Amino acid sequence: MDSNSLYYALELVAGSGQTLNMEERSALQTSLVIVQKNYQFHRVLFWGKILGLKKDYFVAQGRGEDELTDVKNLYSLNCMNWFLLPPASDSMINDVFKAAKGRFVGDPSHVYEHIEVRRRGEGEDAEVEEIVTKVNEESRLVVTIHQIDQEVSVVPRGAFVKNPHGLVQINRSFGGLSYSEAAKLDNYFHFSQPKNLKKKSILEMGELNPAIDIFDVLSDDIPKDVSCVITKAEVMQLSHTAAVLTAHRTHLTKRDREFTFLQRDWKMCYDVSPPRKQVLSSETPNWARCLYHNNTEKVLLAPD
């Protein structure tokens, strides 16, 4: 969410009570302005909050002239002092996947350790070798932010355009999708480097707008039908029905149980605890969306 509309945007994702208190909001509104000036960012986004056992990580994202590639991440433990994070490398990602386990501690210097035992040779000549992988929590934070951005960062079609110089920038004329457009999964893009776009045939590429259709479409995700669009009215209906089902839990049918499971997942979509759930806000003030992601399912909140 853009730091310029932070107070308004936080209300859009505060449905579960997972939000910022007044002290944190006031500190962010002041410190993010300073961050933007010091690092000469075009704009600064409040990326989110990652909960830790001792302290929580507040993450901000600064963007330059290119919204897609000119991106730097920063973190803070008190919403005032910000530290620049390095980009995620392949070796860093592999080490974090091996060593990091459990919840975040809240200490960037905390070290995770993984010992891998390898056996060389056979019989009496066999030798046992221990390979120790160490990684600190700051590296884990880098990888977590990188993975979430790659997997679940979603924007509506038309929110960003590619200019003649090849730079991805905000579409100033974009005012949000219409109600009918918002209900179609084809109008949502992964906000990351495209992987499937170059695999399309010449006929498919001919139907695309080269200035707007610059990302992978959610409807092309594999496996199919792992994403769906839900409106606010449907969310309210889910909440009401789930409350009724909870009151009559002993009389649930199979269909009702599936419905209750869907409502439970919708509540989880507001949970910002890492690493597989993330609240996303809009790039435009008149847009609200929320995305829930695990290995099998995504849910989007479209505007009324």
Lowest mean pLDDT among 80-94, 101-115, 245-259: 245-259
Beta bridge partners of 230: 301
pLDDT tens, residue by residue, 231-285: 656 655 555 444 443 333 333 333 333 333 333 333 333 333 333 333 333 333 3
Q: Give percent of the chain with pLDDT exceeding 90.
A: 43
pTM, full prediction: 0.72
- pLDDT at position 152: 87
